[in-house]
Amino acid sequence: MAPTRIISCQVKDIRFPTSLEKDGSDAMNLAPDYSAPYIILRTDSDLEGHGVTFTVGKGNEIVCHAVRVLSQMVVNKELDYIYNNFGTFWRSLTSEDQMRWLGPEKGVMHLAVAAIINALWDLWAKIEGKPLWKLLVDMEPEILVSTIDFRYMSNVLSKDEALAILKKMQAGKSERENNLKSTGYPAYTTSVGWLGYDDVKLRRLCKEALAEGFTRFKAKVGADLADDKRRLTIIREEVGQDKMLLVDANQRWEVQEAIDWMKELAQFNLTWIEEPTSPDDILGHAQIAKELNPLGIGVATGEQCQNRIMFKQFLQANALQFCQIDSCRLGGVNENLAVILMASKYGVPICPHGGGVGLCELIQHLSIFDYIAVSGSLDKRVVEYVDHLHENFLHPTVVKNGSYQLPQAPGYSVQMKESSLISNEWPNGAVWKKLIQDGVYTNPVI
């Protein structure tokens, strides 16, 4: 029987102690524990929608609570009501009369929206028996644009313009789908260069990534200039001069500091500097982009860009050259579609952010859709890959020779194994009970 309505929403606080090995560490986030507010939407059939959003540890429970509050707007809703007017339903979640005050469309509330919306798309794709990218690719353009809330972006991209982009790209879709089936989607790896890794590990991981077929690498920078030079020298020694090398400062610098620092690092032949300064400083990014352009270095940002309105201004101000959408920072698939279409109008490549648990599983779908149905190009487009925690998923990413292979299973790929959900639930799952008992972590009583 096909499901007709949502009957419940279960929320779990899932965390992984990645800080113990400094996996995921950068100049701003010194010891992140990759974590996910994890939700299961149950229906009146056997099908379930699973969704996550992402945090780096403490505070995961705050987002879980926001999801519980918001879920009241989803439980008992008919699926036809949601999917036949998905753009309108999305707006109702982000614009609830009283909760809107907590955002609007930013911070904890928007992360919570992402978890619910991602679960709804997972469910929709499962109902149709397709991986999410294929659901999007096969969708009639009129239906696809009906999922987008064009509020506050229509001065840059109207519904009609979005429709025109999608219609124009209908031609050649199956050829592009076949291309990706044979080549996969280009990935870069960040896992070699987390800031907390020592030089021996950095060297070893570069060798391993190269042997696995990666030709694109990202390193964390921004805490200490001499350290950055030493670490980038090691990476260049290991991977060679010809490979793509990206750097990420995770918002560490002032605007002028970013420009000066990057002039020092330009000798390493870098393609982009990511998050050089505050993610809200659009004009600061524009200034950095202008100054670094002659050095051939672009500005990348987006993992903490809170909504489509911010992305709109980044694009208007020529403040980013690589658009790093994030499945969990924006309000789920609907808002990511909006940004993908806006970026296409400006000719800016989509290069999604994957540094977190489950993010790689999610974002691969968006880039595959972008190539087949919107941009039609792989030029300057790369999807981030981090080699952590994939073993916890039922349908983990498959990356071969430095390229994502197209997901096959119906859904949005983010459903975790039952055993991982049990052992990693904070604070009573076996993983956390032991770490708390051993005194490695404390469970703060709030």
Ligand X SMILES: C[C@H](O)[C@@H](O)CC(=O)C(=O)O
The catalytic site residues sit at 220, 353
Q: Which stretch binds ligand X (CB under 6 A): 25-33, 37-45, 132-140, 339-347?
A: 25-33
Cβ neighbours around 325 below 10 Å, total = 26
Which part of the chain contacts ligand X (CB under 6 A), choosing from 23-31, 115-123, 127-135, 260-268?
23-31
Total residues at interface with Mg ion (CB under 5 A)? 2
Among 48, 105, 384, 387, binds ligand X (CB under 6 A): 384
Binding flag, residue 355, ligand X (CB under 6 A): yes
- The residue sitting closest to ligand X, measured at its beta carbon, is 355
Residue with the two structure tokens 């036949």: 84
- Considering only residues 26 to 45 of the shown chain, the ones binding ligand X according to CB under 6 A are 26, 29, 32
| Kind plus residue range of the DSSP H or E element containing 272 | strand 272-274
Q: Are 235 and 193 a contacting pair, CB within 8 Å?
A: yes
Closest CA to 12 of 441, 427, 330: 427
Q: Which of 43, 307 has the CB closer to Mg ion?
A: 307
Q: Is 335 in the site for Mg ion (CB under 5 A)?
A: no
Q: Which of 132, 120, 131 is nearest to 6 (CA)?
A: 120
244-273 positions binding Mg ion, by CB under 5 A: 248
> In Å, how far are 133, 242, 323, 383, 394 from 364, measured between CA atoms?
8, 25, 14, 7, 16
Under rule CB under 6 A, residue 190 binds ligand X = yes
Burial of residue 98 (CB within 10 Å: 0-12, 13-18, 19+) is exposed
Nearest to 39 by CA among 73, 72, 67, 69: 67
248 binds ligand X (CB under 6 A): yes
Residues contacting residue 257 through CB under 8 Å, at least 6 positions apart: none
Contact code string over 249-268 relative to ligand X, x by CB under 6 A? -x------------------
303 near ligand X, rule: CB under 6 A: yes
Look at residue 50 and give the partner it binds from ligand X, Mg ion, none, a contact being a CB closer than 5 to 8 Å depending on partner kind: none
The interface partner of residue 24, options being ligand X, Mg ion, none and the CB cut-off 5 to 8 Å by kind, is ligand X
Distance CA 437, CA 446 (A): 18
> x/- site string to ligand X, residues 51 to 90, per CB under 6 A?
-----x----------------------------------
Contact (Cβ atoms closer than 8 angstroms) between residue 275 and residue 303: yes
DSSP string computed for 115-139: HHHHHHHHHHHHHHTSBHHHHHHHS
Report the interface residues with ligand X, using CB under 6 A. 24, 26, 29, 32, 56, 190, 248, 250, 303, 353, 355, 384
Report the interface residues with Mg ion, using CB under 5 A. 248, 274
